Structure 1
């Protein structure tokens, strides 16, 4: 697993959710006009079907799908099919001093006052944790079970609720993040062979410039998904992978051939000694000439 980024670790330490409302919403037909909300709304579709719009994207929601409506994002429920069971919660991800005075919003942005617009929370769950609007994960049953526990606790709201609700929302977020990670791992396994083919292509053409678009076509993925999966598998972007491989080839030539630094730079695909030296020092921490002197005892001329 990749090490936590500073921003992600900082957020995880700051998470202190507060539930604004929680309920089992069951209706024979579901429609909701365009609006945006100040907080988060997490909805699990237990039964029925929904067609929703979030910003400019239409989503068909089926049982087992989870929707995270995010602060400031316009959305609407266009239509439903069958009786809809939708346990869901409104919550703040971080502890906010004005939590109790901020209501659930049912208006669009043009109908809201400047004060109301200022109530919009920062979308830390989307921007930092990368949780998408629509979540499809294999462990959705665990999410439903925890969501039901939270709804029951909200309905009672005894003196211990403030501790319990924080722990249950944190558990929900944990289950979602782990579910998304598992989905990504499965997706990576599906494309394992094609990513290896691309890596071999990069190594075979290490002295050439291979466009990212061409690499993604070889992998039969979009540029975005190819770049993300390649880095997940190899820990480097395609460009970084090629640069590292070029430097490894250059090191072999420095140790085992009489070629000059300028000739080696050309052989491994660099247009100038300057560009090669800069890349080499960035990866190895020393200049090419210093490397030659250290490992061969010969000073390159």
Structure 2
């Protein structure tokens, strides 16, 4: 799924408080729902799995996915939640929240189902997430609810922007849950990343970075790629070329001088790096200016 195409539609945004006894019998939704457990405990059944939700937990219900909800321990449940489409459709404003099981739906109602695109993500999202940093998700949910309730001018655009922040934070949570070792090494990885960003005048080797991090270069390379999606050397080349693009566009320095200042062995190596990463020669950016 191309995240650059994300254009969410917020259908419902409520800060719901329900008192026991409270049960939502099995139903399927046309759209997606995010339900955050702020207070209380809840039993959630999704397809053939049963989950126990406690404060700080987040549930993601997907289109066509049978689920039911039941309060536990006789306590009230506070559940800020939103219903949404990940991609706006012309019928998005007309679709309602469903409380029906699939077998009770008409053929006309079934046409409202959204396609579940979450399996297309690099990290498919689970139904139940025990959040590492619940306060961030919680604040974004309440900000979306606030926008929907106040309905100030452009509230729908504001809610869309907030949702994109929430969705990215959710993807990060899943990434960290599946790579817990990155959490303990994050400060070290950030230090390596800053070192690469601040030393753009020469090529850096993995041996140099391994000494800085006090890790083997193979382990460091694997950690860095898991955290940032590229190796340290690939990241360093990217940073140097970004700086090169600025210098090409906003100075009159010869390309050979810029290549030298950024530690490339020759103008040919400089041009080769540009063509490999950008698919254009360095002179392309001077022409743009």
Q: Normalised by the shorter chain, which TM-score bucket?
A: 0.5 to 0.7
Secondary structure of 1:34's match? strand
Which residue does 1:47 correspond to in 2? 39
1:116-131 paired onto structure 2 within 5 Å: 116-128=109-121, 129-131=123-125
Q: Do residues 85 (structure 1) and 54 (structure 2) align?
A: no
Using structure 1 for the length normalisation, give the TM-score: 0.58
Shift of the alpha carbon at 1:159?
2.1
Question: C-alpha distance in 1, partners of 2:129/2:92?
Answer: 26
Larger Rg: 1
Asked if the contact 1:126/1:132 (under 8 Å) is kept, the reply is no
Which residue does 1:290 correspond to in 2? none
How large is the Cα RMSD of the aligned pairs? 2.0
Q: Do residues 23 (structure 1) and 14 (structure 2) align?
A: yes
- Runs of 4+ with >2 A deviation: 78-81, 125-129, 187-190, 232-235
* Structure 2 residues not aligned, in runs of 5+: 185-221, 226-289
Secondary structure of 1:105's match? coil
Asked if the contact 2:176/2:182 (under 8 Å) is kept, the reply is no
Using structure 2 for the length normalisation, give the TM-score: 0.60
1:65-104 paired onto structure 2 within 5 Å: 65-81=57-73, 82-104=75-97
Shift of the alpha carbon at 1:131?
1.1
Q: Do residues 168 (structure 1) and 166 (structure 2) align?
A: no
Secondary structure of 1:174's match? helix
Per-residue CA deviation, residues 189-237 of structure 1 (Å, 9 max, x unaligned), is 89xxxxxxxxxxxxxxxxxxxxxxxxxxxxxxxxxxxxxxxxx8799xx
Secondary structure of 1:91's match? strand
Secondary structure of 1:131's match? coil
1:225-240 paired onto structure 2 within 5 Å: none
Secondary structure of 1:104's match? coil
Q: Paired residues, what number?
A: 185
Per-residue CA deviation, residues 165-202 of structure 1 (Å, 9 max, x unaligned), is 11011111011111121222215789xxxxxxxxxxxx
